[in-house]
Amino acid sequence: MPYPSAPDNCTDVSPLCPVTGTIYGYYPSLPANAFFCGFFVLISIVQLALGIRYRTWTFMLALLLGTASESVGYIGRIIMHSNPFSSAGFTTQICCLIIAPAFISAGIYLTLKHLVYAFGTEFSRLRPEWYTWIFITCDIFSLVLQGAGGGIASTASNNQTMLDVGSDLMLAGIVFQVVVLFFFGYFLVEYFVRVYSHRLSLTSYAISLSHATRFQLFITGVTVSYVCILTRCIYRIPEMSGGWRNPIMQNENEFIVLDGVMITIAAAALTVFHPGYCFPALSDTMGAKKERS
């Protein structure tokens, strides 16, 4: 059962303004949030270096936006550790942490087009470029909904109506993101089922690629990242649908595990098994197509 909210004019914790009356109902953990902030700063630096080194520009941009947003979001939670009533801290974390995974998802969506080029466009139901246009467009729409919701909620102050509008928009964006993730998973699995059923007619390049350890690690990394982001988004649905100050929203341990840890694993998987050295075709599709022919 959520605690009652504090008076509308509260700006700091006091006997009349207890921490249990804040939206989250607790002091955000300094060690946990400092760790996540530092981790995502590190991942951002590594992604920048790898992106420049291997010229994976669009993948680098997507991951940079995602990890940088995560690090800024956790700065907001660190601010809220000092003052859970901080409007600056709340605004920063709600806007950044709600949209960051969508950028990382975009990095995953970029891979399908290049996988189709590598294994054969003849096995795909859609033209390779369509996957990018469809899923990135849907991802942007999800970002707009979540960003608008976060912006409205962060500026609503104690206006419950506007807080609810912001929450509903964020929820709609997250639900849409989950739907898009499911469709992406379907198209990815369906494509490789078709590839497997025609495995005897694959090119020597495709066969060689499928047996390469680095490529197998890349696919593992993408799969792990996909599952983690999907898990985080599914967790966010009941968290946002329960309204502000609901029990799920006021459970920091669940947030740390189902949001923080999930996105940490997702970003780490796409960094450790970076396409630059695990799947070079992502940065040079034309080269891959020439090699296949």
| Cβ atoms 169, 148 nearer than 8 A | yes
**Token representation of residue 239:** 């968290």
| Cβ atoms 68, 95 nearer than 8 A | no
Distance between start and end Cα atoms, the chain: 63
Residue 211's contacts (CB-CB under 8 Å, 6 or more residues apart) are: none
Q: Which residue has the tokens 């996105």?
A: 263
Per-residue model confidence (pLDDT) at position 4: 56
pLDDT tens across the length of the chain (293 residues):
555 566 667 889 988 899 998 999 999 999 999 999 999 999 999 999 999 999 999 999 999 999 999 999 999 999 999 999 999 999 999 999 999 999 999 999 999 999 999 999 999 999 999 999 999 999 999 999 999 998 898 887 777 788 889 999 999 999 999 999 999 999 999 999 999 999 999 999 999 999 999 999 999 999 999 999 999 999 999 999 988 889 999 999 999 999 999 999 999 999 999 999 999 988 754 344 444 44
How far from the centroid of its chain's Cα atoms is residue 248's Cα? 20
Question: Facing residues of 17 across strands?
Answer: 14
Which amino acid is present at 131? Y
| Cβ atoms 285, 111 nearer than 8 A | no
Instruction: Decide if domain 24-292 falls under CATH 1.20.1070.
Output: yes
Calpha distance 112→118 (Å, rounded): 10
Domain ranges (residues) in the chain: 24-292
| Cβ atoms 229, 266 nearer than 8 A | yes
Q: What is the pTM of this model?
A: 0.92
Calpha distance 92→74 (Å, rounded): 8
Per-residue model confidence (pLDDT) at position 291: 43
Calpha distance 76→79 (Å, rounded): 5
Exposure b/e, 254-280, CB count within 10 A at least 16 = b: ebbebbbbbbbbbbbbbbebbbbebbb
